[in-house]
Amino acid sequence: MIRTTRRKFLVTSAVMAATALSLSVMPAQALAPRSEVGVTATAIKLGITLPMKGSASYGYNQLPGAMKAYFDYVNANGGVNGRKISLVVKDDAYLPKQAIQNTQDLIGKDKVLAVVGALGTANNKAVASAVNLGRRGIPSLFINTGFSGFNDRKAYPTSSTILPSYIMEAKLMSKYLKETYAGKKVCLLYQDDDFGDDALVGFDKSHGNMDFAVKIAYPSLSQGVAGVPDSWITKFKAGGCEVQVVFGVASATLYTVMAAAKAQYAPKWVLGSVGADIGSINPATVPYIIGATSMSFMPSVADPKDEYVAQFKEINAKYNPGAKFNTWALIGMNTAFVTVQALKAAGANPTRASLLAAIDNGGAKFANAALVPLNYSKTSNVGFNGYWFGTFNKTGDLVPNDTFTYTPYTTDSGTGDVVKSTYVRPAMPAKGLPN
């Protein structure tokens, strides 16, 4: 029995030694790391879900075209470590149920490395929960929402936002309103969900210390129902509102301004950043928003001297022909620009894990067009942290002033002060291509 056992041991040892020897002389490529989902020797596949059609799509449906344009530009200049980037785009109509299905398809059928630039608070919350992004280690990067909850690293370990939080935005807006319109009746229209709830926190006495004479919350997608925006305007007029704040998506701002024009209601408009770019969506609305105030963390697309605007505008003209270069095009292209830096930082053979680590460890230093800093770290999922204020000119572009001199402000999502930013933006890399 002992002899048999010893014989088996010797045979097993010999086999193991032979195997080890054979492995030691195998070519290096045979020992290459297992390829990651969405990554091949020649390609990297990414995905995005957002409203491409319907009442909630205005402005936001321009993001994928701008992102693709920048990716195509990078591909034409060698790609990322020799790999070409592709972007799979799916339309969710701003509906959480469809966003869930789209994301499941992007992951299960399209086999993307990561979801990038997806839009909407409710949609992304639903997706993170239903698809189990965190547990599965699937990145959902640079989400186009400012919902503060995404900074909960335990709840959303693989999600990151690109926008400042809506709490930050409302705090900055409160400061502007109190300083500019003291003694005026200021009124608020906001979306009745987490998006609007964050705004209310930022406007609250514990944060922004802002009061409103009239407040109306609108259910998401109700802005496109005939007669609904007219009812809002009736209430605002009856309340004697002199300054009208709209904290909603672009379509809500669009319908509100149009209803106000029809009713000859002409307050001072203060428009939230995500819903303000309506002049480029519907040029007919430009006369109604001239002089209206809004906010941006990006430079003005009308800025004749900004190097990022000039470079991205050139890329857009060549790789996204016929598409207007507006704020959403600039945001989309900048998101793609940051994405390329994250992919490069993720290593020669990027994985989902190395991509997330690259953002945690170095994302705050990624070059980008914004005039306020990025805040990515091992403890922060939040992108930018501030805005500058400007007004819409006669061509519908948001500008800081005649000389394009910006005064950005920054804050946090807590009770911290609103302060002038001292941030110095990194220079645009040569030809707009990250090193």
Q: Kindly state whether residues 142 and 176 are assigned to the same domain.
A: no
Q: Kindly state whether residues 171 and 290 are assigned to the same domain.
A: yes
Q: Kindly state whether residues 146 and 209 are assigned to the same domain.
A: no
Q: What residue type is 420 in one-letter code?
A: K
> Is 327 within the bounds of a domain?
yes
Which tokens in the block code for residue 175?
């400061």
> Is 63 within the bounds of a domain?
yes
Q: What CATH code is carried by the domain that includes residue 323? A: 3.40.50.2300
Q: Kindly state whether residues 194 and 284 are assigned to the same domain.
A: yes
Q: Kindly state whether residues 356 and 242 are assigned to the same domain.
A: no
Residue whose structure tokens are 């040029």: 283
Q: Kindly state whether residues 281 and 320 are assigned to the same domain.
A: no
Buried-exposed string 341-374: b where 16+ CB fall within 10 A, e elsewhere: bbbbbbeeebbbebbbbbbbeebeebbbbbbbbb
Tally the domains of the chain. 2
> Is 419 within the bounds of a domain?
no
Phi, psi of 322 (to 5 degrees): 90, -10
* Domain coverage including residue 176: 166-296
Residue whose structure tokens are 């059609």: 53
End of a domain among 296, 329, 351?
A: 296
- Strand segments, DSSP code E, in 43-185 are 43-50, 84-91, 114-116, 140-143, 159-161
List the pLDDT tens digit at each of the 435 positions of the chain. Answer: 434 444 444 444 444 444 443 333 333 333 334 579 999 999 999 999 999 998 788 889 999 999 999 999 999 999 999 999 999 999 999 999 999 999 999 999 999 999 999 999 999 999 999 999 999 999 999 999 999 999 999 999 999 999 999 999 999 999 999 999 999 999 999 999 999 999 999 999 989 999 999 999 999 889 989 999 999 999 999 999 999 999 999 889 999 999 999 999 999 999 999 899 888 888 899 999 999 999 999 999 999 999 999 999 999 999 999 999 999 999 999 999 999 999 999 999 999 999 999 999 999 999 999 999 999 999 999 999 999 999 999 999 999 999 999 999 999 999 999 999 999 999 999 999 998
> Is 51 within the bounds of a domain?
yes
Q: Kindly state whether residues 123 and 206 are assigned to the same domain.
A: no
DSSP state of 429: P
Q: Are the beta carbons of 199 and 166 closer than 8 angstroms?
A: yes
Claim: this prediction has a pTM higher than 0.75: yes
Neighbours of 79 (CB within 10 A): 17
Q: Kindly state whether residues 221 and 276 are assigned to the same domain.
A: yes
Q: Kindly state whether residues 71 and 102 are assigned to the same domain.
A: yes
User: Distance of alpha carbon 263 from its chain centroid, rounded?
Assistant: 34
Q: Kindly state whether residues 206 and 308 are assigned to the same domain.
A: no
CA distance 165 to 311: 27
